[in-house]
Structure 1
Amino acid sequence: MSFRKLTGDEMNRLSPELSDNSPRHPVYLMLHNIRSMWNVGSMFRTADAAGVEKMIITGYTATPPRREIEKTALGAQECVKWEYSADPVEAVGRLKAEGVRICGLEIAERSRPYTAATMADFPLCLIVGNEVQGIDDELLAHCDEVFEIPQYGTKHSLNVAVAAGIALFELVRVVRGGM
């Protein structure tokens, strides 16, 4: 058996114009105090691939347009709905008022495996934090839930963009299984 890569046309890709009105999964991704613009761009690309509702960028995280973001986003920054809010707690308050559950992605007390999400958790906002410090305690205190990716190595650390991708696609799997 042999395999052949599909062409762009065969993948049925949406144009950026059509993606504006396409259905999204009930998942928001909040980036708080992300230092690396390459990580930001990577998370734009992953958010597009996962079909998230919106990205919320907070704190000192850089926003488009920036060459470093565009280098890894490969145009996804034009397709993913996003907003900037300097204060993450204020953004969390708005989301909670809309009925969105706030879930940190962090190794924390009483966290549960990221694979334990159920349809009852949606809509939800997944918060990822600083590459070194993670989600600060003040923001973590506003979370309804904390998900954790099990770590089996010595560092107990994943790149923030990699961790976001792992968790986002698990959340999408849960949503799509419940559709």
Structure 2
Amino acid sequence: MLRKLEYEEILAERLSEESALVAKRHPVVGVLEDIRSLYNVGSCFRTADALLLERLVLTGYTPLPPRKEISKTALGAERSVPWEGIADPAEAVEKLRGEGYTIWGLELVEGAASLDQLTEIPPRVALLAGNEIRGVRSETLALCDQALSIPMYGVKHSLNVAVSFGIAMWELVRRVREESA
């Protein structure tokens, strides 16, 4: 019979905020460009915490912590996930490239690699997610090494940006862990 874990049991298995800040992280960075909803930003922080991403880079007009709306969905993850704000998306991309990251844009474009058909993952990857309506800016997308898309099987052609970010990041981290094992 299945037994639901008690809250205390779940907490005992988790990192503390302090230990999360010094833990070895996966070599995956999330870049959020022009995300307008503070709740979506908070959700991406929570995903970044759950997956132990190296950090988040908030760029364009993406709102920065501290904001109560971010905290509401992040549940405090903005304190356990390293992050930085870089106003200019091109500067953010070039900084990451200079640190040795391959830059992928999460976007519906011709020639995008499908998340379920990736053959290899770069040793260090930064995934860029864009605005809820317009997606990644064209000029920023032009700076990316590759575009990545999530297969859709229903009527709608897209998902909420925080949901897309979560799906794509989970798969990238899964693959990084698999390839490093």
When normalised by structure 1's length, the TM-score is: 0.95
Distance (Å, rounded) in 2 between the aligned partners of 1:174 and 1:75: 27
Distance (Å, rounded) in 1 between the aligned partners of 2:51 and 2:5: 20
Distance (Å, rounded) in 2 between the aligned partners of 1:36 and 1:103: 22
Partner residue of 2:77?
A: 76
Partner residue of 2:151?
A: 150
Q: After the TM superposition, which of the residue ranges 34-43 and 2-11 deviates more from structure 2?
A: 2-11
Partner residue of 2:4?
A: 4
Alignment of 1:1-179 (within 5 A): 1-10=1-10, 11-179=12-180
After superposition, give the CA deviation of every residue in 1:102-148 in whole Å (9 maximum; x if it has no partner).
00001101101113345542200000000000011100000001110
Distance (Å, rounded) in 1 between the aligned partners of 2:159 and 2:8: 31
Q: Is the 1:31–1:129 contact (alpha carbons within 8 Å) kept by the matching residues of 2? A: yes
Q: Is the 1:118–1:174 contact (alpha carbons within 8 Å) kept by the matching residues of 2? A: no
Which structure shows the higher helix fraction? 2
After superposition, give the CA deviation of every residue in 1:62-96 in whole Å (9 maximum; x if it has no partner).
01000100100000000000000000111111111
Distance (Å, rounded) in 2 between the aligned partners of 1:6 and 1:48: 21
Identity %: 49
Q: After the TM superposition, which of the residue ranges 117-126 and 30-39 deviates more from structure 2?
A: 117-126
CA-based RMSD: 1.3
Which 5+ residue runs of structure 1 have no aligned equivalent?
A: none
Distance (Å, rounded) in 1 between the aligned partners of 2:9 and 2:64: 30
The structure-2 alpha-carbon separation of the partners of 1:8 and 1:117, relative to structure 1 and needing over 3 Å to count, comes to: farther
Partner AA of 2:3 in structure 1: F
Which 5+ residue runs of structure 2 have no aligned equivalent?
A: none
Partner AA of 2:75 in structure 1: L
**1:47 aligned counterpart, secondary structure:** helix
Partner AA of 1:70 in structure 2: S
The structure-2 alpha-carbon separation of the partners of 1:8 and 1:169, relative to structure 1 and needing over 3 Å to count, comes to: farther
CA deviation after TM superposition for structure 1 residue 164, in Å: 0.3
**2:55 aligned counterpart, secondary structure:** strand
For these two proteins, the number of residue pairs brought into alignment is: 179
